[in-house]
Chain A
Amino acid sequence: MAILADKNTRLIVQGITGREGDFHARQMHAYSPIIVGGVTPGKGGMILDYGVPVFDTCGAAVRSVGANASVIYVPAKFAPDAILEAADAGIKLIVCITEGVPVNDMIRVRAYLDAKGDVTLIGPNCPGMITPGQAKIGIIPGAICKPGRVGLVSRSGTLTYEAVDALTRAGLGQSSIIGIGGDPVRGLNFLEVVKLFNNDPDTDAIVMLGEIGGSDEEVAARWIKDNVKKPMAGFIAGQAAPEGKRMGHAGAIIEGGMGTAASKIAAMTAAGIRMATLPTDIPELILAGLNA
């Protein structure tokens, strides 16, 4: 079954005729044919060369083709509006790839979605998600994934790919891979994704890749300690990062002594998660957990 999306998901792409949207929509379509439409205001009525219809609004896409998931590739200044548009059109799963959305905008968007209650947001500033062999929503390269029973959740992009590639090479396939993104205020968090994997009968083990900044890893670890019986492995990036410097991701910063790698590693270790020294050590830690 995997989590959040599968081969029956009906996906639209917001910004499908833009440079990023066009490139990645083709990649997604080639991997899993779940795209039922695209949205670009003013280009409604167009049919793309790979057979996907374009709509002017999310509302039109939902009415015409019954979309239930959306992936957003529009520039940062339009992304908050795009998320709200998808939510108001009745889309239940929204994945925002866009990087550089102002935090105050995301505070308002999250508050709106929370009040609405039944919408799941992934991102922004994230690689999206993939259920290998079934549904690719975002930019995670399909070629490195393999269907299987390990769930993975991460704040980063290429670090995720590194770990997934290592898992696949070790013969460990994945149920779903969720990149929650590197922004300080975002949609799904570690805790919510770990809960989904914990309840998923098709996930046997869980990988959690965190990084410096904030306390979401610690919050998840406290819950994991008492509630997760499935074997888990983890890694925290940024052990060598200096305080007060933003390490690429808007949320990757140690402030006032908070959000350090040491604190996260301690909390995750205390929760029974096998912590890797190097991201490529993840497969052997998962194997050790599955065989224990």
Chain B
Amino acid sequence: MKLHEYQSKNIFRDNGIPAPDGEVVDTPAAARAAAERIGLPCMVKAQVLTGGRGKAGGVKFCTTADAVEEKAKSILALNIKGFPVRKVLVTSAADILTEIYFGIVTDRSTRRAVVMCSAAGGMDIEEVAVTHPEKIMRVPLDPFTGTLPDYVARDIAVFIGLPKEHWNDFIAIARGLAQVYMKNDASLAEINPLAMTVNPNGPGGKKLMALDGKIVIDDNAMYRHPELEPLRDPDEDSAAEKLARKADLNYVSLDGNIGCLVNGAGLAMATLDVIQHFGGKAANFLDVAGGAKADKVTAALRIILADPGVKVVMFNIFGGITRCDEVAKGIVQAINEIKPTVPFVARITGTNKEAGDAILASANIITAQTAAEAAQKAVALANG
């Protein structure tokens, strides 16, 4: 689950990481009122769960209350990479001197949470990692304590060339970031940029502030974080993806016209590949998991058929422990209940395959012997 910038900053502040004051609003008038409370100049920032907000015109600097209202109006009308802007963050504008990248991410190859820090902040860290890997310091978090010791944080501060009067603040931020990551079961917690800003309250009139941030929570750990569930943005998943989650199905919306119903994530991915290989495009990824029982197949079919773009549905089922004839009965039962108007192509293989094929054929479902044959038939129907 991804968190918005304003949600991430609230969590940062709760863990001792300073961030500028801000308010989240959903109307231009409320944006104006917020700016008057916070003080000008200020930033108006689109709150959407995707990158590239600045380039899309979703982040504006404003010096007057009129400008805040006007910019909020235009930003709230935006749709950035398919995400409608429903909220903006009005936050005091900072006078930025330098920008640091500071994040913690799950690193699959070393099997550790890894702290990454670079003086090349404000940029896409993945790009820095490719073009200037030597500018990034990486330190694994201890898997047992989950903490970042002060001496490690100080070493990072030295690596990025931070002046020593700011080391103690940086150490406190590092401690806070490790806490944010571990306490919330994050797979990513990043401050980008962590900016050195002009601020009379800091040492030498300067202070480190988190000007933007991102937190991603491990979905598998959500069972122990009921307090985070209200932070879920309903726009993160499509309506169909939400329904699927409720029905305990793995579903991802895609933009093709061939609906797919498969058991197993690997086979479901391979099914999309086969369809693409034969010149078609899948409308979705769907793993019905386990035994492909009738009630699950019914729920899955309803979700697939709710997409008006679907011209044909392809089943690709491997009957292992659940036999093919049982799976076929489930499919026929689901189709009888929903009475869909689009054609079906089914490829079912594994234990008791022949009996399964016979049941499907008697229900007027087009059958295929291989995934390739099924995909070719589905592509022909979708394009015909």
Q: Do A157 and B264 contact each other (CB < 8 Å), given the known contacts A108-B143, A111-B143, A242-B254? A: yes
CB interface residues, A 235-267, toward B, < 8 Å:
235, 237-242, 245-252, 256-258, 261
Q: Which residue of A lies closest to B349 (CB)?
A: A165
Chain A residues with CB under 8 Å of B282's CB are 240
| B126→A107 contact, CB < 8 A | no
B139 → chain A closest CB, angstroms: 15
Quick check: B370 and A280 within 8 Å, CB to CB? Answer: yes
Q: Does residue B372 face the partner (Cβ distance < 8 Å to A)?
A: yes
Which residue of the partner chain, among B224, B266, B272, contacts A240 with CB atoms under 8 Å? B272
A235 to B265, CA, bound (A): 15
Interface centre among A103, A215, A248 (most CB of B within 10 A): A248
Contact with A along B344-384 (1 / 0, CB 8 A): 00000111000000000000000000111000000000000
With A239-B273, A248-B287 in contact, is A214–B109 under 8 Å at CB? yes
User: Which chain B residue lies CB-closest to A109?
Assistant: B143
Contacting residues, chain B, for A107 (C-beta < 8 A): 106, 111-113, 143
Cα A55 to Cα B350 with chains together (Å): 35
Give the size range of A's interface with the partner: 35 or more
B306 interfacial contact with A, CB 8 Å: no
Q: How far is the CB of B88 from chain A (nearest CB, A)?
A: 23
Which of the residues B182, B274, B287 comes within 8 Å of A278, measured between beta carbons? B274
Main SS of chain A's interface residues?
Answer: loop
Q: Give B240-282 interface residues, CB cut-off 8 Å to A.
A: 250, 252, 254, 262-270, 272-277, 282
Tell me, in angstroms, the Cα distance from A191 to B382 when the chains sit together: 41
| A216 vs B108: C-alpha distance when bound (angstroms) | 9
Select A108's contact among B144, B187, B277, B320, beta carbons within 8 Å: B144
**CB<8 Å pairs between A and B, sample of 24:** A76-B220, A102-B185, A104-B146, A105-B221, A111-B143, A140-B320, A156-B264, A156-B265, A157-B264, A158-B264, A158-B267, A165-B318, A185-B106, A235-B270, A237-B273, A240-B269, A240-B276, A242-B252, A247-B252, A250-B220, A252-B269, A258-B126, A261-B273, A278-B274
Known: A160-B266, A165-B318. 10 other contacts (CB 8 A): A103-B187, A104-B146, A157-B264, A161-B264, A215-B108, A237-B270, A247-B250, A252-B265, A257-B126, A278-B270
